[in-house]
Amino acid sequence: MSASLDALVQEALTTGRIANLPNGHFIDGRFQPSQSGARMESFDPGRGIAFADFAAGDAADIDAAVEAGRRALRGRWRDLKPAERGRILQRAAALIGENAERLAVVESLDSGKKLVEALGDVRGAARTFEYYAGACDKLQGDTMPLGRNHFGMTVHEPVGVTAHIIPWNYPISTTARGLAPALAAGCAVVAKPAEQTPFTALMLADILHQAGLPDGVCNVVSGTGREAGAPLVAHPGIDQITFTGSVATGIGVMQAAAPNVTRLVLELGGKSPVVVFADCDIEAALSGMMEAIYENAGQICSAGSRLVIEKSFSGTFLARLTERVRALTLGHGLTNPGMGPVNSAVQLAKIEGMVAAAVKRGAILHTGGARAEGGELGQGWFYQPTIVEPSLSSDAIVQEEVFGPVLTVQAFETEEEALALANGTRFGLVAGIYTADFGRAHRLARDIDAGQVFINDYFAGGIEMPFGGNRKSGFGREKGLDGLKNYTRVKSIAARISG
């Protein structure tokens, strides 16, 4: 670690706090308190105690943020030259880089994730703004051949004021992947970060303001989903909603948006398969599997939470995988252990309950299966990295999202059976395939019902690759140029020019 990063980490570990965190909502270009004066606490998952408090917003604060966005949209932001919007976003990318260490320490302390993972998330956020900065002046329309006497064309207009509901598992990453394309398209934004992890979204809004973003273009209101999120998605002044979260909450967002006929992008849950064949590169498959399910303590929508493995190979692979899993060290995220805590006591109880119920139904527990306790681990919200093998593919531990460090195992004998197992849940977010057979890999990639498929490298790609789900995993795409189009509306113009 650099000297400055080490000092920040030591400050957080020694005092349990970080100085000078945002102290209010970011509305109309400045931090300001809730109109009610209400505040909430944010907890350090590694210790299970509060480390800071923040403004708890409600409908009045949402009204102020949306109105600030609408004023800014009517002002010069929509009419600013696209290249100038790009320069502002490029400056924001540079400022994220300059503040990367502080942002990462805050992200780690707030979410519980390992510091090295948080640093990767911050670098990814900078890259996201860099990518969309370059896209601002490339949102060009088309011309249509209407004949000699007519001219037809399309133009892309900003959709308006966009709402962004940010989850707690990847706060700065998800904030960036929504805000950057919306701003690039010329929209104004109102974001509501999860109440568990509010700080980096607020810090990012301040960075954008420092980069030259006009007042009111980017607004962030912190608070609970009930008090702040619900009035945001139901607000008639919102033109587009981007939501990342659970299926149940996503359905509620759709229902709230319906009376206003508000556009939606929903990125919901996942129960993603990783299909491993006996001819795979075993080292690559083992490393990919570890990353797929134990990064961020398994709290990833696209986590590879189902190992679908060729039966003849399963014993060998599981033995080596179990050995690696048992070697994982647990600890506070800022100490860069093998795996950090889960985000909250509520999430810990959910994981514990789902695994215990599966074992009671007869599932084989290969490793893990309980809270991690003893010493400093007993203070925080830690769950042992787990591998469980249910007897039936219909078992709830296979079918439902655990959102924790829990891997299920399903064995197959034929390619057709592997495909059936891969498609055997209500979700369709991502899938992984490990095999040396090029044809088989691409047959499965073609036939697996998922929005994104990784071949021989789980989590391959980056901001350039569109991301989103099918079926109960949601609809619409984020990232890439497809993500940019979410925040535009197409206008067709046809003109008679002679005759």
361-408 pLDDT tens trace: 999 999 999 999 888 888 999 999 999 999 999 999 999 999 999 999
Q: Of 455, 428, 417, 450, nearest to 439 (Cα)?
A: 455
- Please provide the average confidence, as pLDDT, over all residues in the chain: 96
The pLDDT score that the predictor gives to residue 375 is 82
Predicted TM-score of the model (pTM): 0.95
Dist. CA 450–CA 251, nearest whole Å: 20
Does residue 263 register a pLDDT over 80? yes
The pLDDT score that the predictor gives to residue 345 is 95
Residue matched to tokens 């095999």: 435
Please, what sign has the CA dihedral across residues 261, 266, 269, 274? positive
Predicted confidence band of residue 259 (pLDDT cuts 50, 70, 90): very high
Dist. CA 292–CA 469, nearest whole Å: 17
CB 72 within 8 A of CB 217: yes
For the segment 233-241, the average pLDDT, to the nearest whole number, is 98
Predicted confidence band of residue 74 (pLDDT cuts 50, 70, 90): confident
| Alpha-carbon distances of 352 from 356, 358, 364, rounded to whole Å | 6, 10, 15
- Least confidently predicted of 71-75, 165-169, 194-198, 261-265: 71-75
- pLDDT tens digit string along 24-62? 999 999 999 999 999 999 999 999 999 999 999 999 999
The pLDDT score that the predictor gives to residue 2 is 80
The pLDDT score that the predictor gives to residue 378 is 86
Does residue 1 register a pLDDT over 80? no
| Alpha-carbon distances of 54 from 193, 202, 467, rounded to whole Å | 12, 10, 31
For the segment 157-176, the average pLDDT, to the nearest whole number, is 97
* Vertex 173 angle, CA 171 and 176, to 5°: 105
Q: Of 432, 479, 468, nearest to 453 (Cα)?
A: 432
The pLDDT score that the predictor gives to residue 60 is 98
Dist. CA 93–CA 70, nearest whole Å: 25
User: Which sequence positions are flagged as catalytic?
Assistant: 267, 301
* Vertex 238 angle, CA 234 and 244, to 5°: 70
The pLDDT score that the predictor gives to residue 75 is 78
Share of the chain above pLDDT 90, in %: 95
- pLDDT tens digit string along 104-116? 999 999 999 999 9
Q: Of 229, 407, 224, nearest to 308 (Cα)?
A: 407
Number of C-beta neighbours around residue 320 at 10 A = 15
Strand partners, 143: 153
Predicted confidence band of residue 278 (pLDDT cuts 50, 70, 90): very high
The pLDDT score that the predictor gives to residue 374 is 83
The pLDDT score that the predictor gives to residue 499 is 66
List strands edge to edge, sheet with 386-389: 364-367, 386-389, 406-412, 306-310, 273-276, 430-434, 452-455
